[in-house]
Structure 1
């Protein structure tokens, strides 16, 4: 029998950032949005990503 997955509860998050305030605000908003929508289905289909990968080989 499979073990029940335990979902952690996040109480606080501490972030230190040395950079542009607007970029940081956008980043935090996207992280919160991703967290809140993590249990919902994606709005685009997988077909939007299939065969869209570009492999770039760089020489050292």
Structure 2
């Protein structure tokens, strides 16, 4: 799990998770968010582009 020196005494699993694990996961969560946002945005733009062709979205 975590090195013994990083775990505060009498810390619950939830406290260990929020104090140690979440800060370590932030860069990965940020990258995953960017990839997901880009994919959703591209799908949105594709739908808008295809629905604006001649006579379809009038």
TM-score (norm 2): 0.35
**Greater relative contact order structure (CA < 8 Å, 6+ sep):** 2
TM-score (norm 1): 0.34
Would you tell me which structure has more helix in proportion to its own residues? 2
